[in-house]
Chain A
């Protein structure tokens, strides 16, 4: 059973985020990068399915040179080969639709039973690339998946719904699933895996290779301004040593807020 995993590299979760001078994005000068969290879980799920059912796990990612680091991590964890969409033209493709279009073009000749994406990325958080890709490729899909059970020609998945509700859904394969964080426990790459990864193929794809131009991938949604959210609340910070602060807080909760 062959599984394609779409990975996105994003600024590390604990990064100090500063707005860039032009106020269009973050200032990424001192930022470290990592695999988007849900994508890491998607990769882990693919690797587990491969361990159970055999087949190949192919990872695909789009972005500049630094993305190779996350690709190598995926290969070290057990993915079999990788596709890296690497082109300055792809750097300008920031809309979910443009990303999906690029991925679809690169996957044109690949054979797969399942495509996994994270349910949304940790940076933009559009929660769309997976489904737009599914629509482009004509695949059945399910989102926010917490469990994956492949069967004969089909896959049964547990979808998360609001407020603690769930639902099992059966889809024909090939299908695309967007994976929820927490579906499994992430593994670490072993030294053996890291060594093996050095021999694994990373196929570099340029926009021209798949017939795409900058015009094809031009953003339709433009960030006019990025800024720190306006605080609607004025937080009263309580200072002092723990015992002091505790006493002050309890007093405020009793007499100001009157909630205890």
Chain B
């Protein structure tokens, strides 16, 4: 009978991807609620330090799978190694963080095993020994509780930011680390990767900015961005943008906030004309204070805003700039 929870730990060049700790929070909670034992798994080459760091957390065991073919990430190598391992360990659940890497191989892995994969979950609950996953549809506008009727292992990935990495429980004594062998001899690696690179010269590190004013599609044209820039200047804030603004090259790519840009948690995040689609929200939802200005009262951005103004940004932004300058002038 399938037993246990297997948590996939992501690493790159021997450096642990910290979103794996977010998935660990979910996995530790599922383990406690179901009574299943939690193990971690790290695949790659020269991953001893990653395994040790994982082993310091509260889980039963950490498995390592090392092979030359796993030194560089490729979907072929990862699917082959993990398929063998999962067949051997026969877990009830395989838990992952919904990262770009996981998106690139995990659906193939689940399909190769003939199992179902519940992706991009934001939560779960346990009912009568069964795990019911919560995932959102229509870009975060609607939530669904999903029950799985398939055979184990059930794969589930958790959305970045759904859990907080710092809540991953530590252990009093380190978990045992067990190396597993895999047979990669017949595995054909079809992808040839080149070195990773960053496109925008990262002139500004938005993650260090205490105040951010971000602009979205509501701004309508490049010329109008100047109005928002004036507000940012008046406030002493950095300007940022949602993806469409950067795709249009109205602002440089290093100003982009979201799943394909920067993730920030400033003291103040002022979202101007941003609808709050999930791809943007994952990059800023942990900001201390969020203010949203949008003419659509139903915009999802208001779900996470502390303060909201439903109105025309073309009136409100200049009014805000004037008010800030007034307050500065009198102090």
Q: Which A positions have Cβ atoms within 8 angstroms of B?
A: 11, 16-17, 19, 26, 95-97, 100, 119, 122-128, 130-132, 134-136, 140-144, 159-172, 180, 182, 219-233, 235-238, 242-243, 245-247, 249-250, 252-254, 257, 259-260
Known: A166-B196, A231-B303, A260-B268. 10 other contacts (CB 8 A): A127-B120, A135-B107, A141-B104, A160-B260, A166-B198, A170-B193, A180-B260, A223-B145, A226-B137, A246-B320
Q: A221-B148, A249-B320 are in contact. Are A166 and B120 (CB under 8 A)?
A: no
Q: Which residue on chain B has the smallest CB distance to residue A163?
A: B262
Contact A253 B316, beta carbon cutoff 8 Å: no
Q: Which residue on chain B has the smallest CB distance to residue A157?
A: B191
Contact A233 B194, beta carbon cutoff 8 Å: no
Interface residues of B in 282-318 (CB under 8 A from A): 288-292, 298, 302-312, 315-316, 318
Q: A128-B119, A142-B104, A253-B289 are in contact. Are A164 and B254 (CB under 8 A)?
A: yes
26 residue pairs A–B, Cβ–Cβ below 8 Å? A100-B111, A125-B120, A125-B138, A127-B107, A135-B112, A136-B111, A140-B75, A140-B191, A163-B263, A165-B196, A166-B196, A166-B198, A168-B194, A170-B192, A182-B243, A182-B244, A220-B148, A224-B145, A228-B142, A231-B303, A238-B307, A242-B311, A249-B307, A257-B306, A259-B289, A260-B211
> Contacts of B147 on A, CB cut-off 8 Å?
221-222, 224
Of A143, A164, A219, A221, the residue contacting B256 (CB under 8 A) is: A164
Cβ of B271 to closest chain A Cβ, rounded Å: 12
Whole-angstrom distance between the alpha carbons of A222 and B110 in the complex?
A: 18
Of A122, A131, A224, A236, the residue contacting B132 (CB under 8 A) is: A224
Whole-angstrom distance between the alpha carbons of A221 and B104 in the complex?
A: 21
Cβ of A231 to closest chain B Cβ, rounded Å: 5
Whole-angstrom distance between the alpha carbons of A100 and B112 in the complex?
A: 13
Contact B306 A237, beta carbon cutoff 8 Å: no
Q: A140-B76, A171-B191, A250-B320 are in contact. Are A97 and B111 (CB under 8 A)?
A: yes
Q: A97-B116, A229-B136, A246-B320 are in contact. Are A253 and B143 (CB under 8 A)?
A: no
- Leading 10 A-B pairs by shortest Cβ distance: A246-B319, A131-B107, A140-B190, A242-B315, A220-B150, A259-B268, A242-B319, A128-B107, A182-B247, A135-B111
Cβ of A228 to closest chain B Cβ, rounded Å: 6
Q: Which residue on chain B has the smallest CB distance to residue A247?
A: B323
Q: Is B1 an interface residue (CB 8 A)?
A: no
Contact A164 B309, beta carbon cutoff 8 Å: no
Contact A17 B142, beta carbon cutoff 8 Å: yes
Whole-angstrom distance between the alpha carbons of A48 and B99 in the complex?
A: 29
Of A122, A221, A233, A243, the residue contacting B319 (CB under 8 A) is: A243
> Contacts of B117 on A, CB cut-off 8 Å?
96, 128
> Contacts of A19 on B, CB cut-off 8 Å?
142
Interface residues of B in 75-128 (CB under 8 A from A): 75-76, 79, 99-101, 103-105, 107-108, 110-112, 116-120
Q: Is B182 an interface residue (CB 8 A)?
A: no
Q: Is B170 an interface residue (CB 8 A)?
A: no
Q: A169-B194, A170-B192 are in contact. Are A233 and B310 (CB under 8 A)?
A: no
Whole-angstrom distance between the alpha carbons of A81 and B310 in the complex?
A: 46
Contact B116 A167, beta carbon cutoff 8 Å: no
Contact A254 B327, beta carbon cutoff 8 Å: yes
Contact A226 B309, beta carbon cutoff 8 Å: no
Whole-angstrom distance between the alpha carbons of A170 and B322 in the complex?
A: 53
> Contacts of A140 on B, CB cut-off 8 Å?
75-76, 190-191
User: Quick one: which of A96, A162, A222 has the most chain B CB within 10 A?
Assistant: A162
Contact B193 A257, beta carbon cutoff 8 Å: no
Cβ of B247 to closest chain A Cβ, rounded Å: 4
> Contacts of B290 on A, CB cut-off 8 Å?
233
Q: A142-B104, A223-B145, A253-B291 are in contact. Are A167 and B260 (CB under 8 A)?
A: no
Q: Which residue on chain A has the smallest CB distance to residue B288?
A: A259
Whole-angstrom distance between the alpha carbons of A83 and B182 in the complex?
A: 41
Cβ of A115 to closest chain B Cβ, rounded Å: 14
Cβ of A102 to closest chain B Cβ, rounded Å: 14
Whole-angstrom distance between the alpha carbons of A135 and B196 in the complex?
A: 25
Whole-angstrom distance between the alpha carbons of A233 and B262 in the complex?
A: 23
> Contacts of A253 on B, CB cut-off 8 Å?
268, 289, 291, 307
Cβ of B117 to closest chain A Cβ, rounded Å: 6
Contact B103 A143, beta carbon cutoff 8 Å: yes
Whole-angstrom distance between the alpha carbons of A237 and B299 in the complex?
A: 13
> Contacts of B288 on A, CB cut-off 8 Å?
257, 259
Whole-angstrom distance between the alpha carbons of A135 and B194 in the complex?
A: 23
Contact B139 A162, beta carbon cutoff 8 Å: no
Contact B144 A225, beta carbon cutoff 8 Å: yes
